[in-house]
């Protein structure tokens, strides 16, 4: 077998194709989507010689196993995990050559949640609205991987200098999210705003690619009723009727009617992608830049 493709031997709990997403389509009701841990996805592409926008695989918790139909270079990053080729351990966080027909096994995350698999040439599924990303909310892009799925790969990148290894941030023991208050903090009591920015929360097991849900002190409303639906942005902290903040991630809805108490800085969101359930969360108020 010499064709440029990957066969999925073990799909794992949730493995999706992701790239830099499809920003700019919120007016059509299409979320941004894309890799949740953007730096990790970009790094595995660099490690295998791909451009930053090449599509990678994002695994969740227990990894995946793949069999390439031609020789490929692969790098696994994001959440640390064991990596083997035909049962023999190979490096995590570094480029590895995988022969045609061999099985690359990306194991369960040792810490963190999401590992990223970059393959030379990138995953070349058909793009939708300029992106190959799986969007779990709208259903755009390829469906999550299943055992037996065959993924086409792009051409092998031309030989050039590439990074051989690079430091990667460890998954957070405590998630600290810098948040700019507003636009609807006036829908909450002054005490609720103080609680939001001073008390500890924890990551809920109900979190997913749409939002990081939290458990902790209930935020009391100052105003009754509901808002008319308004636009939502990446990092918006929406507070549903149960009073528990939800941080919107890549597959978030483009509109919503629950009040947004603040917006998390985009640079803090990759850490949120790796925060396991039970991780302490603190929201720290910062000024608008």
Q: List domains and CATH numbers for the chain.
A: 5-152 (no CATH), 175-285 (2.40.100.10)
Q: Give the pLDDT confidence of 11-61 residue by residue, as tens digits.
A: 999 999 999 999 999 988 999 999 999 999 999 999 999 999 999 999 999
CB-CB contact of 26 with 230 (8 Å): no
Does residue 1 register a pLDDT over 50?
A: no
Question: Residue range 212-237: average pLDDT?
Answer: 95
Give the mean pLDDT of the chain.
Answer: 95
Does residue 165 register a pLDDT over 80?
A: no
Does residue 180 register a pLDDT over 70?
A: yes
Question: Residue range 274-278: average pLDDT?
Answer: 97
Residue 175 CA: distances (Å) to CA of 27, 29, 100, 107: 31, 30, 40, 24
Return the pLDDT at 171: 87
Task: Kindly provide the residue ranges of all beta strands, DSSP E only, lying in the chain, ordered along the sequence.
Answer: 5-10, 16-18, 56-60, 64-68, 72-78, 83-85, 88-90, 96-98, 104-106, 114-119, 150-152, 175-181, 201-203, 211-215, 230-231, 236-238, 246-248, 255-256, 260-264, 280-285
| Measured distance CA(46)–CA(90) in Å, rounded | 18
Joined tokens for residue 151: 């993924």
Residue 213 CA: distances (Å) to CA of 80, 112, 275: 23, 16, 11
CB-CB contact of 153 with 260 (8 Å): no
Return the pLDDT at 288: 80
Question: Residue range 72-84: average pLDDT?
Answer: 97
Per the model's pLDDT, the better-predicted residue between 166 and 192 turns out to be 192
Return the pLDDT at 169: 78
Per the model's pLDDT, the better-predicted residue between 169 and 161 turns out to be 169
């Amino acid at each position: 077998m010499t064709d440029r493709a990957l066969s999925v031997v073990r799909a794992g709990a949730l493995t999706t194709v992701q790239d830099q997403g499809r920003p700019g389509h919120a007016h059509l009701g299409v979320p941004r989507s894309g890799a949740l841990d953007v730096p990790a996805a970009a790094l595995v592409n660099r490690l295998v010689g791909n451009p930053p926008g090449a599509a990678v695989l994002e695994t969740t918790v227990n990894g995946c196993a793949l069999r390439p139909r031609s020789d490929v270079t692969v790098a696994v990053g994001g959440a640390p995990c064991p990596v083997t080729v035909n049962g023999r351990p190979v490096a995590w966080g570094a480029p590895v050559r995988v022969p045609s027909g061999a099985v690359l096994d990306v194991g369960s995350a040792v810490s963190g949640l999401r590992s990223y698999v970059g393959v030379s040439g990138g995953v070349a599924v058909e793009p939708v609205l300029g992106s190959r990303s799986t969007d779990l909310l709208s259903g755009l892009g390829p469906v999550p991987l299943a055992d037996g799925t065959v993924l086409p790969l792009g051409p092998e990148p031309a030989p050039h200098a590439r990074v051989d290894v690079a430091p990667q941030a460890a998954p957070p023991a405590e998630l600290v999210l810098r948040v700019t208050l507003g636009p609807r903090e006036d829908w909450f009591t002054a005490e609720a705003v103080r609680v939001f920015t001073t008390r500890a929360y924890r990551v809920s097991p109900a979190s997913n690619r749409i939002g990081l849900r939290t458990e902790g002190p209930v935020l009391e409303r100052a105003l009754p009723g509901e808002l008319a639906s308004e636009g939502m942005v990446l990092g918006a902290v929406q507070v549903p009727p149960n009073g528990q903040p939800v941080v919107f991630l890549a597959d978030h809805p483009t509109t919503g009617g629950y009040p947004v108490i603040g917006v998390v800085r985009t640079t803090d969101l990759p850490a949120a992608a790796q925060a396991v359930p039970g991780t302490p969360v603190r929201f720290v108020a910062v000024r608008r830049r």
